[in-house]
């Protein structure tokens, strides 16, 4: 079963939380893209996110999802 779009967002978010180098690279991408047309920036951003997903297997539920949906209230 493929991840829903919201699950992919949470997986990406978790990877950023786990790795300061990814955060730095993502912020650098945004800064370097300020002068670009929006569609070019979105293409570069999509490639960056895809590279993050390709670093690990995508099947596990993201930690943020687990934390927010299975904590006792």
pLDDT digits (tens, 9 = 90+) for 24-52: 999 999 999 999 999 999 999 999 998 88
pLDDT given at position 3:
65
Q: What ranges in the chain are assigned the alpha helix state H?
A: 5-18, 20-32, 38-53, 63-70
Q: What is the mean pLDDT of residues 54-70?
A: 56
Q: Under a CB-based contact definition with an 8 Å cutoff, are residues 52 and 15 in contact?
A: yes
Q: Output the pLDDT for position 4.
A: 74
The domain ranges of the chain are 5-70
44 vs 69: CA distance, rounded Å: 32
Compute the mean pLDDT over every residue in the chain, rounded to the nearest whole number: 79
Q: Is it the case that residue 70 has pLDDT exceeding 60?
A: no
């Amino acid at each position: 079963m493929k991840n829903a779009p919201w699950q992919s967002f949470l997986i990406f978010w978790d990877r950023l939380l786990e790795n300061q180098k990814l955060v730095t690279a993502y912020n650098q991408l945004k800064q370097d893209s300020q002068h670009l047309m929006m569609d070019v920036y979105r293409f570069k951003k999509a490639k960056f996110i895809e590279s993050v997903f390709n670093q690990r297997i995508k099947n596990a539920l993201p930690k943020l999802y687990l934390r927010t949906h299975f904590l006792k209230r």
